[in-house]
Homo-oligomer: A and B are copies of this chain.
């Protein structure tokens, strides 16, 4: 807004003005999963300084991407959520995540995986054409993050937390990236101990066909 960085009358330049600042798209990523409070955002983005988070939220609000919502009393707390306009970034964020995942190497020592990041990763790698008429459910544990995935007749639903009646529980670590990229075969991953299953092993094949980098 204020800062006219680029001096170009161009949709892309304007978009980058709105969401091109340093943490902005990661904030949008987390808000695409669900509305959140300041502290929730901070927890999902541990390395962001609070002043920067505060500044980004104000900028995104001013840009019409995020809405600040005060919950009714007695709670009275503040929730940030995407506007309709902000929600329309979903396809872009998913596509960019897919693009970036293709050159994602091994995780660094202090890299973390958050539930929201994993949820968006599953959404971005989902291949509807491979999931046609398919129904399956998975509980996915990566490090200490637990999410679950339901594929219901070709529709996808991903959310945080476990799933007691999951068809398959997949317990793994960073190897999940190699697995989903096809760099590591399911059998190999199990044999190496990089993936542990609770449930029928052939479901893992369907999993890697459904979610693919």
Chain A residues near B (Cβ < 8 Å): 4-18, 20, 22-23, 25-26, 29, 45-47, 63-64, 85, 88-89, 91-93, 95-104, 107-108, 110-114, 117, 120-121, 124, 174, 177, 213
Tell which of B15, B91, B102, B107 touches A97, judged by Cβ atoms closer than 8 Å: B15
CA distance A113 to B9 in the complex (A): 6
Assess whether A47 is in contact with B6, with CB atoms less than 8 Å apart.
Answer: yes
Check B89 against A92 for contact (C-beta < 8 Å).
Answer: no
Inter-chain contact B26/A100, CB cutoff 8 Å: no
CA distance A6 to B114 in the complex (A): 12
In the complex, how many angstroms separate the beta carbon of A107 from the nearest chain B beta carbon?
A: 4
Query: Looking at the complex, which one of B15, B25, B89, B124 makes contact with A16 (CB distance below 8 Å)?
Result: B25
- Complex: A13 Cα to B124 Cα, angstroms: 13
Residues of B near A174 (CB, < 8 A) are 9
Please tell me if the beta carbons of B99 and A15 are within 8 angstroms of each other in the complex. Answer: yes
State in angstroms the CA–CA spacing of A97 and B47 once bound together.
29
A-B contact pairs, 30 of them (CB 8 A): A4-B111, A7-B46, A7-B47, A8-B26, A8-B45, A8-B112, A8-B117, A9-B177, A10-B100, A10-B117, A11-B97, A11-B104, A11-B124, A12-B100, A13-B100, A13-B117, A14-B100, A14-B101, A14-B104, A15-B97, A16-B26, A16-B96, A16-B100, A18-B103, A20-B22, A20-B25, A63-B103, A85-B103, A92-B96, A95-B95
- In the bound complex, residues from chain B placing their C-beta under 8 Å from that of A120 are 10, 12
Given A25-B12, A26-B12: A99 and B110 interface contact (C-beta under 8 Å): no
Of listed A10, A22, A92, residue having the most chain B CB within 10 A: A10
Find chain B residues with CB under 8 A from A91 CB: 95
